[in-house]
A = this chain, B = another copy of it.
């Protein structure tokens, strides 16, 4: 258990980091001049570019790499669809209220807060140092309020810790019982909150002018993909397995969002729905490519036993041992890991945590979250759920649409069965008003009964069967009215409802975690300065152009250089302010720009420029064409800075200030 650290292992000062993010407009509370609305944030230019680059990397890593079918479905969703999917009834959190001041709590957060406060009070009473715990993002409210140095029994401490380890596993009733049993009170009023009630997290609205079509803002992009399943399958020429994918906003009306970008009411999601044949234990043909990749796993059993210890093992082993249920689920866990690594997530700050039974969404049969460690604890950033055939089945049942795969069998399936043929022309007139009832009784006969009755028919020319409600409950049927025969049937088509493996990414949470993981502080001569060491491919802007001074001679060089960079597909910004070059570079390190180009008087003479690398602050000097192609290969990952230092002359000149 350690406090949060920067990329370089320094203690992370969250206040300083947040001041940097605000100052550089990575993001900002929405409607701030109107007082803001909790859970809503706007991205400023660097945040917006960072988000776009993460999405772009995601599209390449998943959609392009695996030929997924991208769709863009509407956010507005009519009531009936989300009623069928189960969201209207089950997509809720437990809410309770202070009876006096009306304060509203999420019940699980309330229990956590009070228990954690008591545990800290206990530590204080025992004279122990209170360390920042590795807690969940959700568990960070009102640390101090109501905290008193009261020693608890050892058994009580253990009980509290076990409750906290499985806090996500309690339903509303159980949370209510915990509140009563442990006498949990709101510190502000000293009162017990009301029993938890379910609060549906969907935003509702009305579609059309006549107020008769209620709808919601989608809580996930998945439903649109499921509803289009039949069309997507056709677009894919019937081929299975395949995946659809979607990148778009989703909405959840959080009860009390207070964790910055980590718990918001409107957020960008990137979701994959991978449709797979449930027969054959969901093998994946590319599983061998990832089976040696090692993941840090926290399984369901460990948590239920009140612990949070992890094990690191290859995904191949985890699937083999049954920790992870099947290859397809395992394949995507590994692919998620590779994606997070690629965009610059700290490898020592990832774990995969399995959901406990009560914690899972109503549609899931298994679910693993990729969690990233931040200053507010472990944060769920990617969910990877096995939704089985749940969604396709409920929508097909509701609408009658065939959301199935029809597959030609290579080896036709031959079945042999006793069949009954009713001689309709005679049967009806013979039994008159009882005809339908007798027919139903005949059709309901089991295979065993049919076999027995066929023999009887052959021997007697007639049979007697039970038909409750007709005559005395026994009906005689003669040979000319009914034929019973054993027949072979050959099936060439197999019909099945695919299962769905769903990797679902919260882009905003990934973005925020990425910022923390790449943040560090460079100690300078005058003052310490923040640096955001994003990988070049993800950095909001790739190049800062810095003219030595505002000398007019530099202007044509600036114009040409930014033009050339644009053509090369490299985003750049100009800082032609009066600040010293050192100051301008420092300012820019805060924006995470990996490279800087200085234009100076030497440039005017021979066209060469210097290229500075953000993390090492080392520089090389060469003519512009070489510098630009060096930047291109640094951004696309073809070369490292070490390669460039080897290829181009090192520049030792000081960062001079000449006006």
Contacts and interface: CB of A to CB of B under 8 A. Distances in A.
Interface of A: 24-25, 28, 30-34, 37-38, 40-45, 47-49, 51-52, 64-65, 67, 69-78, 80-81, 95, 102, 104, 199, 203-210, 213, 215, 217, 224, 227-228, 230-232, 234-235, 237, 249, 251, 253, 255-256, 265-266, 395, 398-399, 401, 403, 566, 571, 573-574, 577
8 contacts: A32-B227, A33-B399, A37-B76, A40-B76, A47-B72, A76-B251, A104-B210, A199-B209
Contact of A48 (B71, B204, B208, B249): B71
B395 A33 contact: yes
A44 B232 contact: yes
A210 B51 CA distance: 32
A406 to B, nearest CB: 17
B228 A28 contact: yes
Contacts of A44: 69, 71, 228, 231-232, 235
A231 B46 CA distance: 13
A652 B616 CA distance: 57
Given A64-B571, A69-B45, A566-B64, A231 B25 contact: yes
A65 B31 contact: no
B204 A205 contact: yes
A144 to B, nearest CB: 25
Copies in the complex: 2
Contacts of A571: 64
A395 B35 CA distance: 13
Contacts of A37: 76, 78, 207, 213, 215
Contacts of A67: 573-574
A42 to B, nearest CB: 4
Contacts of A24: 235
> Counting chain B CB atoms within 10 Å of each CB, which of A80, A205, A571 scores highest?
A205
Contacts of A30: 73-74, 224, 227
A255 B209 contact: yes
A253 B401 CA distance: 28
B209 A253 contact: yes
Contacts of A227: 30-34
A536 B578 CA distance: 44
Contacts of A573: 67
Given A25-B235, A205-B204, A228-B42, A48 B70 contact: yes
Nearest to A216: B205
Question: Would you list the 6 A-B pairs with minimal beta carbon distance, nearest first?
Answer: A33-B401, A43-B72, A42-B73, A33-B399, A45-B69, A40-B74
A205 B32 CA distance: 20
A207 B37 CA distance: 9
